[in-house]
Structure formats: C-alpha cells, structure tokens
Structure 1
Amino acid sequence: MRSRKLTCASINFIVVLLSQSVHSQLQVGFYGNSCSLAEFIVKDEVRNSFFRDQGVTAGLVRLHFHDCFVRVSKRAKLLIHVTLGCDASVLIDSTPSNKAEKDSPANNPSLRGFEVIDNAKARLEAICKGLVSCADIVAFAARDSVELTGGLSYGVPAGRRDGKISLASETLTDLPPPSFNVDQLTKFFSNKGFTQEEMVTLSGAHTIGRSHCTSFSNRLYNFNGTTNQDPSLDAIYASQLKQQCPQGNTNPNLVVPMDPSSPAITDAGYYTNILANRGLFTSDQTLMTNAATANQVSQNARSTMLWRSKFAAAMVKMGQLDVLMGNGGEIRSNCRVINS
C-alpha cells in the first residue's frame, strides 16, 4: 500500500512539473523578434470585424473558451489523462472520415468568428510564413475582443502550437451545458484546474453576446412535471423572452442577447441580472443557490473594475491549459486544415 501511494505521489509531482514547464515557456511578446507585427495584425482584423458586427467579439471569446476546454488524450508513460487545450482544434474543418469539434451540437451553430481567424492567419502567413500558430491567434483575438468591448487588456503569453486532432465527440464531455447546476459547474471547472471563484468569474463572459432560444427554452415552456416555467426566472423577463422565443418556433437561428441592457459591453451587468433573477441560463441563475457563489455574484455586481481585473487574470490562466509546445503539434498554414 505504501509503495502504491508513493507511486501516485510521484506521478502527481511529474504532472505538476510538466505543467509548470509548459507554462514557463509561454512568453508575453513571444513574436517580438520573429514576427513583430503578429499581435497588431490580429487586433486589426478583430477591430475591422467589430466595426462591421459588434457581436463577433463575443464569438471570439467563446471560440477561445471552447478551444481551450476540449481535447483529451493519454500520456501513455504516466497512464493518466490530461487535457490538451488551446491548440486551435476547434478551427479544424470536418472531413468525410471525421466529424470535427466545430460541427458538434455544442458548437454548431453557436460558434462564430472563424473568418476573423482566417483573415489574420492569411495576413500573417504572407509576412511571417509558418511562424504564428492558429492557437496563439485565437488567444490574441479573445484578448482583443475583451478590450474592444470595454474590458481590461492583458498580456497574452504566447508560443502555443497547433493540435492535429479534432473530434466532435469530445465536446460532449469537455464543455459545460447551460443546464448545469452550481455543484456540477464547480466540479467541472475544478477538473480543469479552476477554483469555484474563477468559475464564477469566467461565467461573466455571458455579459456579451447572444444565445439561441433552444439553449434556454425549457425554462420557459417545459421546466419540469410540476411547472412549465422556471420559478427562479423573473416573471417580467420570462414574458419578454417568450415574445422573442415563441413556443413551438422551429427557427434554429433565433437568438436573444444574454445581457439585454449592455449586450456589447464587457461589464458587470451579467451579475446584476442574476441578482434580479434574470440569468438567462440555468447555469447562470444557479450561482445564487450557493452561499459562496452568491456572495461572489454580489461582489462582482458592486464593482465592475474588480470583476474585470479577475476576468483578465482568469483568461490568462485559461489560455495556458496544457498547451502544445516545442516539438508538439505543428504550425498550421491554414487554420482549418491539418498540414499535409
């Protein structure tokens, strides 16, 4: 028994060292010498797209989240499973023999912003061929989106490489559904290395963007066997949502803003909505069912700057989820296709 415990401790220690080693190699300003215009070009593409469609920024933040939280593989020598996130696997197109992440029900049709990444990559390949990874472009674009919508800018440690595998099936277990309760969310984020407070902080990304009616319509019309409407949902807000999302509507593209008061501004409106029982998803309003998370919701609602600061730090941490480095992966020439 003692030998087994020592073996497990050794494995955990090795995993920690591997994680620290990977993170220590990521650098803010990574392309300063090799491709000095890299971050400028990405920001320029994000800004141009934002001026045409303000909603694209929320899409790019979501793209980064869905990239970082998906891709599980096995390190055979350690006989453990670790997440390989932030490897641009979400950008890979499906093929006749493989259904990729972007075409899973969790991502399609909700993800957007792919064309922004494509445009930035094309410009970068023209001046810095084979140097800037798609994974880094996604991370830069998310940061720029936060900044453009009023959030705090932050330095993005870069040096990621791109993955070669993208499986739609992995999104089923590696992305939290909008139906999760607070305990499920806490466990999910903990498995990814985040504290409960960081979970509440990152949930604030719902302050920008929109949602398809199908993601929350069960709260309006088919909540449970006792009541059709979720009793935790503010009645006036529910009435407004029903007008926007009529029962029986078959249009899969029908959407509503997640934060109606400021859908294109990265502010604390998300938390104010939850305090007023106007969290759009079950996974939003559930934060009020736990004393600790409810207190964090209140704190964030009182201070937009406090939340913006915590959100920037959490985004940096998320962007370093077991990234590919060194000889791992590749630098794709086309973000949608694995190099031949």
Structure 2
Amino acid sequence: MVALVGAHTIGFSHCKEFANRIFHFSKTSEVDPAYNPTYAQGLRKLCHNYTKDPAMSAFNDVYTPGKFDNMYYKNLQRGLGLLSSDQAMVTDPRTKPFVDRYAANQTEFFDMFGRSMLKLSLFMVKENNDGDVRRRCDQFNTIQI
C-alpha cells in the first residue's frame, strides 16, 4: 500500500481535502504541527479562499509535481505530506520503514510500485455491469435517467 500511495508524486488535491490541517486544526494550534511550518504557511496563503473557489488546489508533490519519482517520500520525511493519510505513513512505525526505503532508493520504489499496480489490477476485477469507472475519483457516478 505504501508503494501504491506513491502515485501521489503526481497530481494535486483540492484545498477542501486538507483544509482541516491548515485552518483551525485544534484548540491549541491553528495548523497541524506535523506540517513543515513554512509549507503550512504557503498552503494557508494558497487556499485562503477555498470555500468560495472549490477548484483551489495544491500539488501533492511540491518539488517535482509533474515527474514520477521518489520525491514524494522525501517530502513526507520533511513534513511536506499534503494529506493527513500521507503524513501518517511517516509517523506510523508499521509504514515508516517503507517510506524511508523508498525515499532512499528510487529504483526500489519503482519496482515495488510496478509490482503493486500489477497485483491491484488483478484483484477482484469487476466486469460488464458489475463495475463502474468513476468520472471523478472523489465521487460516485450518478445514475442518468
């Protein structure tokens, strides 16, 4: 799973998906302390108007957003994990060793990502009317009548 989530090295997330981490995080902290402070301030500035403009978004990988590489894992080690689920991988003792391995060894990440994608592609494949390809990854398709 840690290898598959490495797909976040490309793409973006809408501000609403992580706004809870940069605005009013807790009673004692406006921002999630797991964030790199400079990164958090940049996200706050970028997403300041996200409730009025739902298209506001940030790259999942701030350094190489258009390149498939292992920078995503290096970012996690630096407190630059955009989503809480991403950042949790570097703090959880079950997943941290994989984050560290993939950050240190891009070839191993590529190998494990490829193997994981192949395994996932064969897992419980739905065919014909049993499955549905989502038009938007964050929403179920609506039935057209």
With the shorter chain as reference, the TM-score category is 0.7 to 0.9
Task: Check whether the contact 2:70–2:102 (CA below 8 A) recurs between aligned residues.
Answer: yes
Structure with greater Cα Rg: 1
Task: Check whether the contact 1:202–1:311 (CA below 8 A) recurs between aligned residues.
Answer: yes
Distance 1:210 1:275 in 2: 19
Distance 1:261 1:277 in 2: 13
Distance 2:29 2:22 in 1: 10
**Does 2:99 match 1:297?**
yes
Distance 2:63 2:16 in 1: 21
Q: Pick from 49, 57, 69: which aligns with 1:267?
A: 69
Task: Check whether the contact 1:221–1:247 (CA below 8 A) recurs between aligned residues.
Answer: no
The share of aligned pairs that are identical, in percent, is: 33
Alignment: residue pair count: 133
- Unaligned runs of 5+ residues in structure 2 are 131-140
Q: Pick from 81, 86, 90: which aligns with 1:279?
A: 81
Deviation at 1:249, TM superposition (A): 4.2
Structure-2 residue corresponding to 1:307: 109
Distance 1:324 1:221 in 2: 40
Deviation at 1:264, TM superposition (A): 1.0
Distance 1:281 1:213 in 2: 10
TM-score by length of 1: 0.37
Q: Pick from 7, 14, 22: which aligns with 1:220?
A: 22
Alignment of 1:151-300 (within 5 A): 199-246=1-48, 249-300=51-102
User: Runs (4+) of structure 1 moved beyond 6 Å?
Assistant: none
Deviation at 1:322, TM superposition (A): 1.1
Alignment of 1:72-91 (within 5 A): none
Task: Check whether the contact 2:22–2:30 (CA below 8 A) recurs between aligned residues.
Answer: yes
Q: Counterpart amino acid of 2:93?
A: A
Task: Check whether the contact 2:15–2:50 (CA below 8 A) recurs between aligned residues.
Answer: no
- Unaligned runs of 5+ residues in structure 1 are 1-198, 331-335
Deviation at 1:265, TM superposition (A): 0.9
Task: Check whether the contact 2:16–2:50 (CA below 8 A) recurs between aligned residues.
Answer: no
SS at match of 1:256: strand
Distance 1:260 1:249 in 2: 22
Structure having the larger proportion of residues in helix: 1
TM-score by length of 2: 0.83
Query: How large is the Cα RMSD of the aligned pairs?
Result: 2.2
Deviation at 1:253, TM superposition (A): 0.5
Distance 1:248 1:297 in 2: 30
Distance change in 2, residues 1:226/1:309 (3 Å): same
